[in-house]
Amino acid sequence: MQPATDGVATHALTTHAMATIGGETMGTTWSVKVVVSKHADLHALHAGIQGRLDQVVQQMSTWRSDSDIARYNQSMAGSWIRIPAEFFSVLACALGIAADTDGAFDPTIGPLVGLWGFGADARPQAPADAVDLVDVQAGIGWRRIELDSESHSVRQPGGMHLDLSAIAKGFGVDHVVAYLRESGIASALVEVGGELYGYGHKPDGSAWRVLVEAAPDTDDAGGEPRVLVLDGNAVATSGDRWHHYDVPGDDGNGRRYSHTIDPHSGQPVACALSTVTVVASDAMHADAWATALTVLGMDAGMQIAQRNGLAVRFLGIDADGPCERMSDAFRAHLHA
Ligand code: AMP
Ligand code: MG
């Protein structure tokens, strides 16, 4: 997903203009478009944004051995670990979505992600032994995580490895948006690794607009392009376009392994299935739901979306070629 290029207008008001700044975080990139006074200190703004994202990494990255999440993952069975407020609220949100999806989304998925060769100790290969899979699967489970909201503590039942990769990028977007609002920025489009939040208006007075992918797993713009209006809301996309690996099978036909794993089967979600786009009032929920709905698949996912009023679009391939399904709430966000 990318900001609509026709949105990068040069109709600057006399006092304000649009500026774009960016950097790296969470193994991906970030970019922020802001509408600021021509005298604004963009270096200070850049440092402030990077600082917020570094804070998310320091708390929630399983790629760092000194992060708060790594400290939790290494802690002794039965201990209560006090964690920072941001980490606590992301974990609470993740557990809520785990409950809403009957565990299709599961923040304790870490060991399964590792077993399939994704995550911090990446080694692209399928598990060598089916026994490993059963053992690892038995050790995960969001229901075993207990929170104490008074002390912002989380209990380690023993061997539990949290993985917030499916939700932390979205939270990073929200965290940056909060910083920009606190800094008096009246309009911005914030992106971390493809997850976006837009608020306010561009110098020409129009709202932020973004393009979403037209056709699954292809650069061919066969489908109708979709333009979303972001005006105080977020959009996230989950799919396997960039995150998968192929392993040649004995029969010569390869199998593609996705980095999104179904906790119930212990298996990666079949690739080509779909790209899911979710619009929500914050990027943390949009990001988590996009992953959850990828696990649930188009039929079960659309049912949950309609029931909960979620704004969701599935893009997949069926026997007749590319197919697209949108919930009613998603249609409401489309640019006419
Ligand atoms: P995303 O790109 O937001 O869909 O997040 C994908 C990442 O989330 C993976 O690389 C895993 O670390 C993690 N993950 C995979 N499957 C699940 C799942 N069922 N529930 C929660 N997190 C998951
Ligand atoms: Mg996600």
> Mutate which of 112, 291, 295 to test ligand 1's pocket (most atoms within 8 Å of Cβ)?
291
| Chain segment 172-211, per-residue pLDDT in tens | 999 999 999 999 999 999 999 999 999 999 989 999 999 8
> DSSP states of 76-89 as a string?
PTT-EEE--HHHHH
Residue 147's pLDDT is 98
β 208-212/226-230 pair status:
antiparallel
Ligand nearest to the CA of 278: 2
Nearest by Cα to 226 from 318, 329, 313: 313
Question: By alpha-carbon position, which residue is closest to atom 1 of ligand 1?
Answer: 166
CA of 310 to the centre of ligand 1 (A): 19
| Chain segment 274-305, per-residue pLDDT in tens | 789 999 999 999 999 999 999 999 999 999 99
Residue 251's pLDDT is 54
Question: By alpha-carbon position, which residue is closest to atom 12 of ligand 1?
Answer: 165
Ligand nearest to the CA of 62: 1
CA of 62 to the centre of ligand 1 (A): 12
In ligand 1, which atom is closest to the CA atom of 94? Answer: 21
Ligand nearest to the CA of 27: 1
Say if residue 238 is exposed, middle or buried (CB neighbours under 10 Å; 0-12, 13-18, 19+). Answer: buried
DSSP secondary structure letter of residue 324: E
- With a 6 Å cutoff on the Cβ, whether 142 touches ligand 1 is no
Q: How far apart are CA 261 and CA 280, in angstroms?
A: 23
- With a 6 Å cutoff on the Cβ, whether 260 touches ligand 1 is yes
Question: By alpha-carbon position, which residue is closest to atom 6 of ligand 1?
Answer: 166
Question: By alpha-carbon position, which residue is closest to atom 2 of ligand 1?
Answer: 166
Residue 273's pLDDT is 60
| Residue ranges for the chain with pLDDT beneath 50 | 2-13, 221, 242-245, 248
Residue 167's pLDDT is 97
Say if residue 43 is exposed, middle or buried (CB neighbours under 10 Å; 0-12, 13-18, 19+). Answer: exposed
The answer to whether 210 and 235 are in contact (CB under 8 A) is yes
Question: By alpha-carbon position, which residue is closest to atom 18 of ligand 1?
Answer: 105
- With a 6 Å cutoff on the Cβ, whether 302 touches ligand 1 is no
- With a 6 Å cutoff on the Cβ, whether 163 touches ligand 1 is yes
CA of 118 to the centre of ligand 1 (A): 10
Residue 16's pLDDT is 83
Q: How many CA atoms lie within 13 A of 266 on its CB side?
A: 17
What region does 217 belong to: left with phi over 0, alpha with psi -120 to 50, or beta? left
CA of 194 to the centre of ligand 1 (A): 15
